[in-house]
Structure 1
Amino acid sequence: MQGTEAYPEPMTVSVIEGEVVILGPDAVSVALTPEAAEESARRLIAAARQARAPSQEPSSAA
């Protein structure tokens, strides 16, 4: 994404009443089911690995 600056701080993740709650910089907050959190984690890891290898063409992590 051009024109945006990446945040160097990781998100804070907790469990509240059976939901995975993610708090991030710039007032980002989201609550996910455990299943959605697991899939999101897989996608985040895949995207982070891709970002570390900038010689590859961009693709959607979805």
Structure 2
Amino acid sequence: MTTPYNTPSSVSHEHGEIIVDGPDGVAVSLTPEAALITAGRLETEAIDALIERGRTVTTKPADG
């Protein structure tokens, strides 16, 4: 297994495509629909992994 990167990827959009630029020159171009589905899957798996590590997850700031 490889060592995971701890730097988030940058994301932009151009000409109707979502462009993800990651470490080591990794680049992916997705349709908006595919990007939304991928984002949801990433969120689900990241939350599951953090829970397994015993961390609490805050996705939104707590209301005052």
Q: TM-score, normalised by structure 1?
A: 0.80
**Pairing 1:9-28 to 2, within 5 Å after superposition:** 9-28=7-26
Structure 2: gaps spanning 5 or more residues: 54-64
Aligned residues: 53
Shift of 1:26: 1.4
- CA-atom RMSD, angstroms? 1.1
Shift of 1:16: 1.0
Equivalent in the alignment of 1:47:
45
Which one has the bigger helix percentage? 2
Percentage identity across aligned positions?
A: 43
**Pairing 1:23-42 to 2, within 5 Å after superposition:** 23-42=21-40
Structure 1: gaps spanning 5 or more residues: 56-62
Shift of 1:53: 1.6
Larger radius of gyration: 2
Moved over 4 A (4+): none
